[in-house]
Amino acid sequence: MSCMARSPIVQAQIRGPLARSDLPGLYARVCALLAEAAGGVLLCDISEVAIDAVAVEALARLQLGARRHRARVRINNPPDELHELLELFGLAGVIAA
């Protein structure tokens, strides 16, 4: 009988308003969480964030950090506007929303 290892789930609530100047700190905090978890899934709650170019940039940076820590990003209940912006920026296949 075999046991399948479960990937750790790291939860991150991202609060707004979100400015570009907030992104390096957000990236550092999330990367620290992912380093502790040693991979898995970064589950993001973005319900308090305005869906705009800064939000897309934040998610792209988080995806980069997740890949560097052998993890992946998933978005909780993404609004339709996010799907549209991800497609516009060419990130629809990169960030699972």
9-88 classified as CATH 3.30.750.24: yes
The DSSP line for the chain is ---PPPPPEEEEEEESS--GGGHHHHHHHHHHHHHHHTSEEEEEEEEES--SHHHHHHHHHHHHHHHHTTEEEEEES--HHHHHHHHHTT-TTTSB-
Per-residue confidence of the chain (97 residues) as pLDDT tens digits?
444 456 678 888 888 889 999 999 999 999 998 888 887 888 888 888 899 999 999 999 999 999 999 988 888 878 888 888 888 888 887 677 6
For residue 40, the one-letter residue type is G
Predicted local distance difference test score (pLDDT) of residue 26: 93
